[in-house]
Structure 1
């Protein structure tokens, strides 16, 4: 009997970066770029970029917990973005780029808090982790179709070449054993 697929929703800067990494992860069965945590119904990319909706650019992942655990999903998350930057990632500035984990259960919340506590105890980062942890309150909206799997379709685009590609390379080097075979 197959275990149920689980869902994780994560924000760590531009969703193109997270999408490009998680599509390579063995056990991740679906990746969708979207918006979470805001107040506007069906926000557009332009509305979210203006910063007034309260949404975060996120990826919603479906994963097989028999192949990769939620803890491992979060270990990748904390390795591919800077969770110490408040409302930004590098040159991407605004609340829509904040570091956030939108949990789907109390268990996910507990695991996220444990992972953050472990990272802080190990001194992995020079500054405190500012990642917000909040329940996904149902205000999740898929991003526009052109945002889905963006990096794979536009690797030569400037942002992809200079921002996304290094994050993908970092993931591939650090987590080679967690990559999907054939990619």
Structure 2
């Protein structure tokens, strides 16, 4: 099993991750305490679904060109856990930027920087 973690300002529903892509085994949705950012943690089987496919769905679920302010409180984030995930996320971000001809403000950051905050997530009911 591999882990993927994404965040964005109040848009997440776990339903698309379960219904759209086979190979996703578990999805946990929460909100970062003290921030206006929803987090989705996905556990998936890399033999059935690629990380790139999950990143594609993440970008389909929100507008990656909008940032309400300059803080982490209102934006989208990809929290990578491996160099492979970092590479895939950067490639997709650059691809979107070339297609839409706008700046993509999605932050790509290591999960370790936010590990304490993610452990303090509160559960969101859907």
Q: TM-score range by the shorter chain?
A: 0.7 to 0.9
2:87 aligned with 1:106: no
Deviation at 1:96, TM superposition (A): 2.9
The answer for the alignment partner of 1:162 in structure 2 is: none
**SS at structure 1 position matched to 2:97:** helix
1:117-173 residue CA offsets vs partner (Å, 9 max, x unmatched): 22222x1x352111000001122126434x14x1xxxxxxxxxxxxxxxxxxxxxxx
Q: Distance in 1 between matches of 2:92 and 2:53?
A: 10
Deviation at 1:98, TM superposition (A): 1.0
Q: Does the Cα contact within 8 Å between 1:34 and 1:141 map onto a contact in 2? A: no
The answer for the alignment partner of 2:119 in structure 1 is: 141
Higher Cα Rg: structure 1 or 2?
Answer: 1
Q: Does the Cα contact within 8 Å between 1:33 and 1:142 map onto a contact in 2? A: no
RMSD value over aligned CA atoms? 2.2
- Unmatched tracts of structure 2, length 5 or more: none
Q: Distance in 1 between matches of 2:93 and 2:43?
A: 22
The answer for the alignment partner of 1:19 in structure 2 is: 14
Distance 1:103 1:83, change over 3 A: same
Q: Distance in 2 between matches of 1:21 and 1:142?
A: 24
Instruction: Report how many residues are paired.
Output: 121
